[in-house]
Chains A and B, each alone.
Chain A
Amino acid sequence: MTMEEEADLAEVMELTPEMKAAVGKPGEPTLYEVTSLGIRTFARAVGYKNPVYFDDDAAKAKGFPAIQAPPGYLGMPVWNPNKTTARQASFESPFKRNLNGGTAVEPLERVFAGDVLEAVTTLTSLEIVPSAAFGQMMIRVSETVYTRKSDRKVVAKTRGTGLSY
């Protein structure tokens, strides 16, 4: 961190009105595609062996329309370099570095290859706390609700904790 950044950081002792306004405000809906390639790559990386996550015939033998996504796999956001989506209400942050602080997953429905999910993320809490390692740290907690476009069922909810310092 540069001296200028440290000086900026030293001035921020509490949340700004802009930061407070971001809490509770849902971001724009983001589309996530669940593809067979995406499911297989996820399942391979995590180390699954269950054929319903790889093999169309095994999935269909279970009565599924296509291979199933393992719990926690909710597709990938549709990548378009010419269009940006504000997945979360944003604000200017003096903290430059980020860490993943935690993950919570609540699977509610089976998800299959071919599904398209609409994700809406809401910043649910935000605080700046003292940190022995970094002086100050910002803790953001966000919740995301994933809804399948075809039947409007909520298929999963996740919560993520981000640490910025």
Chain B
Amino acid sequence: MPAAQTWDSVSEGQEFETVEASDSQRLVIWAAASGDFYQIHYDDNFAKNNKLPDIIVHGALKGMWVGKLLDEIAGDDGWVKQWDVSYRGMDIAREDVTIFGKITKKYEQGGEHLVDLEVGVRRKDGSVSTPGTGTVRLKK
């Protein structure tokens, strides 16, 4: 979990990462939290009968992992202004994934101290299943 950052302490190119597990219990908790009860996310037989190799991680959970990374960077004194991710590929459950963010721009706008980030979900083989962007306001 990255520590909360201040605007003065960060620089363009700086990277942040967290590793998230995607065991079946976690996917079931997410199903309850989100109301997404599609069985391909928790029922092995259903997933395999739908030509999937195993249950797969919910797209929206991956999106919210990115939101968490940004929230941890912002800390209680900052604010996640926005984030946007595309679900370009499936992530098979029970395999850890890395949530990453890299500062691409540091700037002031409208009295706010902001950073833009390239964000995403990276698989163990290095491929990115869920690319996106985000903007965070940081304490000066």
Per-residue contact bits, chain A 33-75, to B (CB 8 Å; 1 contact, 0 not):
0000010011011111110100000000010000000111100
* Also in contact, A102 and B85, with CB within 8 A (given A41-B33, A42-B33, A49-B1): yes
B84 contacts A102, C-beta separation under 8 Å:
yes
What's the minimum C-beta distance from A114 to chain B, rounded to whole angstroms?
18
Determine if A135 is an interface residue (Cβ-Cβ < 8 Å). no
User: A143-165 CB contact bits vs B (8 Å, 1 = yes)?
Assistant: 00000000000000001010000
Q: In whole angstroms, how far apart are the Cα atoms of A41 and B61 in the complex?
A: 13
Is there a chain B Cβ closer than 8 Å to A125's Cβ?
A: no
Contact residues on A (Cβ < 8 Å of other chain), bracket: 20 to 34
Task: Choose among B63, B64, B85 the residue with the greatest number of A CB atoms under 10 Å from its CB.
Answer: B64
B80 touches A71 (CB 8 A): yes
Q: Decide yes or no whether A7 CB sits under 8 A from chain B.
A: no
Q: How many A-B residue pairs have CB under 8 A?
A: 89
- The size bracket of the interface on B is 20 to 34
Asked if B3 lies at the interface with its beta carbon under 8 angstroms from chain A, I say: no
Chain A contacts for B65, CB-based, 8 A? 46-47
Question: B87 is contacted by which of A70, A72, A76, A102 (Cβ under 8 Å)?
Answer: A102
0/1 per residue, B59-102, Cβ < 8 Å to A?
Answer: 11101110110111000100111111111000000000000000
Q: Is B123 an interface residue (CB 8 A)?
A: no
Residues of A within 8 A of B32 (CB): 41, 45
Q: Pull 22 A–B residue pairs with CB atoms less than 8 Å apart, ordered by A.
A: A38-B33, A41-B33, A45-B26, A45-B30, A46-B33, A47-B20, A47-B65, A48-B68, A70-B68, A70-B71, A71-B67, A72-B63, A72-B64, A77-B35, A100-B87, A101-B59, A102-B63, A102-B84, A102-B85, A102-B132, A105-B80, A106-B81
